[in-house]
Amino acid sequence: MIKINKDISGLKESATLAINLKVKALRDASKPVHHWGFGQSPFPVPVEIQDELKARTAHKEYLPTMGLEILRKVISKYYTKVLGLSFSFDQVFISPGSKELMFQLFYILEGEFLIPTPSWVSYLPQLKIKNASTHFIHTQESNQYKVTPSELEAACDKLKGRQITLILNSPSNPTGQIYTEKELKALAPILEKYSVIVVSDEIYSQVDFNQKVSTSVASFYLKTIITGGLSKSYSAGGYRLGFMLIPKELEELIPPLKSFISETFSAVSAPIQYAAVKAWDTKCSDVFTSIETYTQVHKIIGGYYSLRFAEMNILTPKACGSFYLFINFDYYKEKLNSLGIMTSTQLSHYLLDQLGIAVLPGVDFYREQGELSVRVAYVDYDGSKIVDKLKNEKLSLDLVHLSYPQIKEGLDMLEDFLTTL
């Protein structure tokens, strides 16, 4: 029997992967599935980035630990241009996905970690690997699942005197909500009071339905570390390229992070780093045009799902960004309970087994099991198809319905099921 580190062996397989396997098995058996479980952007990687990657395959050298200098420069310039934030290139780290660097950062930070829920699935397991002390802040649907100043104050007050790190994710996976400037400004004095370190996960920052880039807490609070990358806005999760911006106020973190990287992944693949320059170089307007189009499609589809859910008495704040909605079946609780559905896990299994609709249970996003909530990802379609059509046609909900009839079909099926309850 091999002895395995208990902090790792206690981790369960990611919920997302498990549901994908079940969906794959159903599809292999030719069973129709509405896959609302998997959050991968359906669009092509902007062609300029693909072309640059093809042109850079000869780059075989190890690149610097912190990343390719010109890439770090375009990212820092991009942040200055779009958000007015001044990070110099030597405050930028490049990593194989933002997830990896987040893990390394969590590993080197001591103290207490605050995680608002519903939360992205991976923060907690990453912190559990190092046995960190973690605390949930249970946010409310009525506040669009955003932490309020009083909730933050209460959480920080309990940890007074200790080093506190807050993980904020806006636009959010799983809720599709985005903190407004006003909301972030209201949090800043509390962050200041408890000298909180903020890790601001902004991987969906360009998937914002109201502005080109989401407002960052870094604009109002200096001790903010930003993470981002190619995976979501640029539809290139498999390229595995992310970044982290460390502010001057936290520059003590730079040397240990650099050492950690040099002893682990060393550096990100060279061709990918060269290709990624195109993603944040503000002169590459075609790339930005593509990703703005992708966001407009997400907006139309997210708006449609929000509307349909509201008509079905399913509780959810309106879609504002990312490509998820966190929905609550509280209105149907008694009826669902009478079918033996008492937990969000049972609800997800029921929806998949009986309706062929795959969603992830709220409990995987650290909500109470008894809360009948699930996450819906509304990206189960081939994005290239609509991108092609948009060369000749204008984007509209009708065009979406024509291109992807399965979207309406899945929602109709759910509605039919709820009306017969």
Ligand X SMILES: Cc1ncc(COP(=O)(O)O)c(C=O)c1O
The residues of the shown chain that bind ligand X, judged by CB under 6 A, are: 39, 97-99, 120, 169, 173, 201, 203, 229, 231, 237, 242
Q: Do residues 27 and 34 touch, judged by C-beta distance below 8 A? A: no
The residue number whose beta carbon is nearest to ligand X equals 97
DSSP string, 262-330: HTTT-S--HHHHHHHHHHH-TT-HHHHHHHHHHHHHHHHHHHHHHHHHHHTT-B-PPP-BTTEEEEE-G
CB of 249 to ligand X, least distance (A): 23
As a whole number of angstroms, the distance between CA 36 and CA 34 comes to: 6
Prior bond of 44 cis (ω within 30°) = no
As a whole number of angstroms, the distance between CA 173 and CA 323 comes to: 8
**Residues in contact with 388: Cβ distance below 8 Å, sequence separation at least 6, in sequence order:** none
Q: Which is nearer to ligand X, 372 or 377 (CB)?
A: 377
Q: Which residues of 311-325 are buried (b: 16+ CB within 10 A; e: fewer)?
A: ebebbbbbbbbbbbb
Q: Which is nearer to ligand X, 122 or 219 (CB)?
A: 122
Query: What are the beta bridge partners of residue 328?
Result: 315, 373
CB of 257 to ligand X, least distance (A): 16
Q: Which is nearer to ligand X, 229 or 361 (CB)?
A: 229
Residue 327 C-alpha from the chain's centroid: 16
Prior bond of 255 cis (ω within 30°) = no
Q: Which is nearer to ligand X, 167 or 253 (CB)?
A: 167
Other Cβ atoms less than 10 A from the Cβ of 416: the count is 10
CB of 277 to ligand X, least distance (A): 17
Q: Which is nearer to ligand X, 231 or 295 (CB)?
A: 231
CB of 208 to ligand X, least distance (A): 14
Q: Which is nearer to ligand X, 98 or 295 (CB)?
A: 98
CB of 407 to ligand X, least distance (A): 21
CB of 164 to ligand X, least distance (A): 20
CB of 172 to ligand X, least distance (A): 7
CB of 236 to ligand X, least distance (A): 9
Q: Which is nearer to ligand X, 324 or 332 (CB)?
A: 324
Q: Which is nearer to ligand X, 123 or 274 (CB)?
A: 123
Q: Which is nearer to ligand X, 67 or 229 (CB)?
A: 229
Backbone dihedral angles phi then psi of residue 72, each to the nearest 5 degrees: -65, -35
DSSP string, 64-92: PTT--HHHHHHHHHHHHHHH-----GGGE
Q: Which is nearer to ligand X, 149 or 237 (CB)?
A: 237
CB of 267 to ligand X, least distance (A): 16
Q: Which residues of 341-352 are buried (b: 16+ CB within 10 A; e: fewer)?
A: bebbbbbbebbb
Amino acid (1-letter code) at residue 283: K
Return the residue matching tokens 């997800």. 348
The residue among 284, 279, 291 whose CA lies nearest residue 207 is 291
CB of 245 to ligand X, least distance (A): 14
CB of 398 to ligand X, least distance (A): 30
Q: Which is nearer to ligand X, 188 or 276 (CB)?
A: 276
E strand or H helix at 229:
strand 224-229
Amino acid (1-letter code) at residue 149: P
